[in-house]
Amino acid sequence: MINLSSLDLNNKNLVIRVDMNVPIKDGDVHDSTRIKACLPTIEYALENNAKVLLISHLGRPIEGNFEEEFSLKPVAIELSKIINMDVELIDTLESNKIFKSSSNIQVLENIRFFEGEKENSQELGYKLGSLGDIYVFDAFGTAHREQASTHAAIMNAPIACSGLLLEKEENFLSQALKKYERPYVAIIGGAKVSTKLELIKHINEVADHIIVGGGIANTFIKSSGLNVGNSLTEESMLEIAKSILDKGKIILPNRVLTSKTFEGEDTKETSIGNIGKDEMILDLYLEQETKTLINNAKTILWNGPMGVFENSLFENGTKELSKEIAKSNAFSLAGGGETLSAINKYIKSDDVSYCSTGGGAFLEFMEGKVLPSIKALNSKKIGS
């Protein structure tokens, strides 16, 4: 694909698709992490004498309607504060202010207010792709969606390229898929095997060991023939889980923390072979053997918590895991909202080699799929 750094940006108008889908609370940005992730590309464009129009979605408004709670106005205000420059909000694609005002940074209103975004409308894609001289795609978190701003706009733009964040994401994620060193340890947690089945199957062909946690671990434990009481499991996944388990790479916990309720009634530490019918597995303990695997690893992939870590009663497994990864000298890659929340809670993002900004996009990339936006970018040549 064409990279932003390979193009002459002097006096060019750049339309940049970013992912600034941030939490808004009482009209203010509650967490600016995703906005800050966009800064390298924005600053690079400005340093090279280009003007910028940013495109992003926010939440799930009814398409074709303006809804105040999903307006990007708070995002534009927050970006202005962070970058210490005027940021102008543009309401419509027909605005005569686009690239013609004194502001070098503009933000288009929520792209999901525009009819045709979700359906990958060619008409909307053509409008977006034709707004500027270059269409820059830098929203890795949306790269798995074939929509007007993530696909049709790329295909219809005279020049389309990757932004610095997308380039960085692809380089780091590819390292964990294609350029890894062994031993390779994957940690996959979360609620359901079904949502991560393709990831587990693909990584099972790559990694040396897979440590499972959360409801995913419960399903694997049950598939091994053990009782898991009232624990969250997926009955429809038991046969598939058993076939994966039989390949010998899945690491199950030996000891877990159970409770009869999420409030911690009758909480106890026990072995996975001693769980009562009215008990739930809500956290697990990292064995010394597991810690040693992490310590000796050269590559670590982490997606998902070990237990219900949002509750301090059941956070120990995820907390211990975070700290073990932080101590490791391996190349470590983390992705997914809950994973990043755990990192922010227990360690620092700098303790991990790379934290991906993608959720669904991260999973699909690590499943070995070619994401629609990346496929579209790969098809473009300068001037096509």
- How many domains is the chain built from? 2
pLDDT in tens, 285-296: 999 999 999 999
Distance in angstroms (rounded) separating the CA atoms of residues 98 and 52: 9
The answer to whether position 175 is within a domain reads no
Indicate if 131 and 207 belong to the same structural domain. no
Indicate if 346 and 314 belong to the same structural domain. yes
Indicate if 159 and 199 belong to the same structural domain. no
Give the burial string for 37-51 (b: 16+ CB within 10 Å, else e).
Answer: bbebbbebbbebebb
The answer to whether position 37 is within a domain reads yes
Indicate if 217 and 132 belong to the same structural domain. no
- Could you give the dihedral angle defined by the CA atoms of residues 109, 112, 116 and 118, in that order, rounded to the nearest 10 degrees? 150
Distance in angstroms (rounded) separating the CA atoms of residues 197 and 359: 15
Indicate if 276 and 186 belong to the same structural domain. yes
Burial class (CB in 10 A: 0-12, 13-18, 19+), 260: middle
Give the structural domain span for 278: 180-366
Amino acid 265: pLDDT: 85
Amino acid 193: pLDDT: 87
Distance in angstroms (rounded) separating the CA atoms of residues 53 and 109: 10
* Mean pLDDT, range 196-214, rounded to an integer: 93
Indicate if 56 and 94 belong to the same structural domain. yes
Chain centroid to CA 202: 18
> Does 192 score more than 70 pLDDT?
yes
Amino acid 384: pLDDT: 52
Amino acid 383: pLDDT: 55
The domain boundary residue, chosen from 119, 138, 165: 165
Closest to 286 in 3D by CA, of 223, 338, 228, 212:
212
Amino acid symbol at 384 = S
Distance in angstroms (rounded) separating the CA atoms of residues 50 and 309: 45
Percent of the chain at pLDDT > 70 equals 99
The answer to whether position 174 is within a domain reads no
Strand order across the 250-251 sheet: 250-251, 209-212, 184-188, 299-303, 331-334, 354-355
Q: Two tokens at 363? A: 């999973």
Q: Which helix (H) or strand (E) holds 173?
A: helix 164-178
Indicate if 159 and 184 belong to the same structural domain. no
Indicate if 259 and 146 belong to the same structural domain. no
Maximum C-alpha span of the chain? 70
Distant-in-sequence, close-in-space partners of 67: CB < 8 Å, separation ≥ 6 = 61, 113
Amino acid 321: pLDDT: 97
Indicate if 55 and 20 belong to the same structural domain. yes
Distance in angstroms (rounded) separating the CA atoms of residues 56 and 27: 17
In this structure, the strands spanning 24-25 and 28-29 are antiparallel
Indicate if 228 and 353 belong to the same structural domain. yes
The answer to whether position 112 is within a domain reads yes
CB 182 within 8 A of CB 159: no
- Could you give the dihedral angle defined by the CA atoms of residues 8, 9, 14 and 20, in that order, rounded to the nearest 10 degrees? 100
pLDDT band at residue 139 under the 50/70/90 scheme: very high
**Of 62-66, 143-147, 357-361, highest mean pLDDT:** 143-147
The answer to whether position 373 is within a domain reads no
CB 72 within 8 A of CB 58: yes
Q: What are phi and psi of 132, to 5 degrees?
A: -130, -170
The answer to whether position 355 is within a domain reads yes
* Mean pLDDT, range 228-253, rounded to an integer: 94
The answer to whether position 63 is within a domain reads yes
> Does 248 score more than 90 pLDDT?
yes
Closest to 301 in 3D by CA, of 191, 139, 178:
178
Distance in angstroms (rounded) separating the CA atoms of residues 305 and 288: 18
pLDDT in tens, 29-58: 998 989 999 999 999 999 999 999 999 999
Which residues on adjacent β-strands are paired with residue 90?
108
Q: Tell me the CA distances in angstroms from 251 to 313, 323, 327, 353, one per residue in order.
A: 23, 19, 20, 23
pLDDT in tens, 263-314: 988 899 999 999 999 999 999 999 999 999 999 999 999 999 999 999 999 9
Closest to 111 in 3D by CA, of 139, 132, 133:
139
Q: Two tokens at 230? A: 């009232």
> Does 14 score more than 90 pLDDT?
yes
Q: Is 145 helix (H, G, I), strand (E, B) or coil?
A: coil
In this structure, the strands spanning 160-162 and 134-137 are parallel
Chain centroid to CA 82: 23
Closest to 200 in 3D by CA, of 183, 186, 190, 184:
186
Amino acid 333: pLDDT: 97
Amino acid 264: pLDDT: 85
Indicate if 114 and 15 belong to the same structural domain. yes
Mean pLDDT, rounded, of the chain: 94
Catalytically annotated residues: 34, 192, 337, 360
pTM: 0.90
Which residues on adjacent β-strands are paired with residue 87?
105
Indicate if 149 and 257 belong to the same structural domain. no
**Lookup result for tokens 């991260």:** 362
Q: How many CB atoms lie within 10 A of CB 243?
A: 11
The answer to whether position 173 is within a domain reads no
Q: Two tokens at 193? A: 């095997």
* Mean pLDDT, range 361-384, rounded to an integer: 89
CATH number at 232 reads 3.40.50.1260
In this structure, the strands spanning 105-108 and 299-303 are unpaired
